[in-house]
Amino acid sequence: MNITVMITCIGGGLSAQFIQSIKASSRHNLRIVGVDTNDTPAARHFCDTFHRVPSGDAPEYFDKIKSICAQESVDLIFPCADEEALTLAAHKAELLITGTTVACNDLDLLQIFTNKLTTYKKLAQLGIELPIWKEATGQESTLSAVREIMDITGEAVVKLPTARGGRGTLVISNSLTETISFEGSRELHMNLQTFMEKHLSQLPSEPIMIMERLVEPVHDLDILSWQGQCHYLIPRKRLNSALPNEGHILIENTPMAEIGRKVAQELKTSWIFDIDFMTTKDGKPAVLEINPRASGSLSVAIAAGMPLFDDMLSLYGDEPIAPTHQSYNQIIFPYTALAKR
């Protein structure tokens, strides 16, 4: 199949690897249109053409994307950032009229996935076991929830429902005597007294999430589904929980995969997306969040021999796909390389 694909947000650390990987397809002849908010992402050199665009939540973003799609005759847009996926999902029908398909789920689903509280409420409705969690609004409610969870587990985590990448996350444990930043992440760890004195009054007035502290490492579950049917469920364990681009080990984790399967089947998902997991202290998989688009480290699974993107294109083109054997215990790691044009 000959196809022009727009890849958004190509400034990610593994974007160059991802674009090289999908262009190496033996089944599809891809022409890649890369877009990013910056002029100089390294991945632009592996695209057939490149355009700078506004941020995905900017008022002018969609008009710019629509213009590029017309100019480049784009068949398919593969969004790689949350804001872009949300904006593009809201305009799916308009783009489809002009011949461009957006490779993400519909807006109603994405709006659930981009809020941790609505995600957990939906997972609870599906009967998926969850860690201890509570919704709180205001200082009194928040402090009560924190104390209740700490009484049960000894620690508590306060999260902003729509924040990403650990932004605004506060881990509260009385084993600490000072506030620390956790292993290069955006989390702050502190004791209850520090939380009450320095952070409680700074929390937003809208509902927030309080939950038990989960156990590392973080796992990513890559899912390719089509109208609820799962074709890939690939669990990967991060070598560094705070830095997903530092490598993964592909593992076999049936409980984790079955949660992903249930989400896909019950919500009738399509395209590629991923679920982030940790575990509870008794070793059970616990959903951290469901991403509204593919993982930024999707190229890890492709490098391990899983042709998710190829098969996604085949499903989009109504072409049959063959089962792929999944190899476990592979370590996929990054290294520095050079290329020339």
What is residue 330's predicted lDDT score, i.e. its pLDDT?
94
Structure tokens at 205: 């007035």
Q: Supply the DSSP string of 127-178, one letter for each residue.
A: T----SEEEE-SHHHHHHHHHHHHHHHSEEEEE-TT--TTTT-EEEETT-SS
What is residue 174's predicted lDDT score, i.e. its pLDDT?
84
Task: Give me the sign of the Cα torsion angle 21, 257, 226, 84.
Answer: negative
What is residue 327's predicted lDDT score, i.e. its pLDDT?
82
Mean pLDDT of 126-143: 97
The percent of the chain in helix, strand and coil, each rounded to the nearest 5, is 35, 25, 40
Distance CA 136, CA 158 (A): 10
Q: Above 90 in pLDDT, residue 47? A: yes
Mean pLDDT of 60-82: 98
Contact 233, 251 (CB under 8 A): no
What is residue 180's predicted lDDT score, i.e. its pLDDT?
76
In this structure, what DSSP letter does residue 226 have? E
What is residue 72's predicted lDDT score, i.e. its pLDDT?
98
What is residue 57's predicted lDDT score, i.e. its pLDDT?
96
Tell how far CA 116 is from the center of its chain: 12
Structure tokens at 275: 């679920």
Strands 188-190 and 170-173: parallel
Mean pLDDT of 6-13: 97
Distance CA 49, CA 291 (A): 27
Mean pLDDT of 165-181: 83
Model confidence pLDDT, tens digit, residues 180-197: 775 556 789 999 999 999
Model confidence pLDDT, tens digit, residues 96-123: 999 999 999 999 999 999 999 999 999 9
What is residue 242's predicted lDDT score, i.e. its pLDDT?
86
What is residue 213's predicted lDDT score, i.e. its pLDDT?
96
Distance CA 22, CA 8 (A): 14
What is residue 166's predicted lDDT score, i.e. its pLDDT?
72
Distance CA 54, CA 285 (A): 37
SS3 193: helix
Q: Above 90 in pLDDT, residue 2? A: yes
Model confidence pLDDT, tens digit, residues 282-332: 999 999 999 999 999 999 999 999 999 999 999 999 999 998 888 889 999
From 4-8, 129-133, 151-155, 179-183, the region with the lowest mean pLDDT = 179-183
CA distances from 314 to 19, 317, 319, 322, 326 (A): 17, 5, 5, 10, 19
Mean pLDDT of 216-237: 97
Q: Where are the beta strands (DSSP E) in the chain?
A: 2-7, 29-36, 49-52, 76-78, 101-102, 133-136, 155-159, 170-173, 180-181, 188-190, 208-211, 215-226, 229-238, 248-250, 271-279, 285-290, 331-332
Q: Average per-residue pLDDT in the chain?
A: 95
Mean pLDDT of 235-241: 96
Distance CA 269, CA 17 (A): 26
- Name the burial class of residue 146, with classes exposed (0-12), middle (13-18) and buried (19+) by CB atoms within 10 angstroms of its CB: buried
Q: Above 60 in pLDDT, residue 178? A: yes
| pLDDT interval class at 164 (50, 70, 90) | confident
Which residues neighbour 197 within 8 Å (Cβ) at sequence distance 6 or greater? none
All structural domains of the chain, each given as residue ranges with its CATH number in brackets, are 2-104 (3.40.50.20), 133-211 (no CATH), 215-332 (3.30.470.20)
Distance CA 252, CA 94 (A): 41
What is residue 185's predicted lDDT score, i.e. its pLDDT?
61
∠ at Cα 202 (81, 58), nearest 5°?
30
What is residue 182's predicted lDDT score, i.e. its pLDDT?
59
| pLDDT interval class at 74 (50, 70, 90) | very high
Task: Give me the sign of the Cα torsion angle 67, 68, 70, 76.
Answer: negative
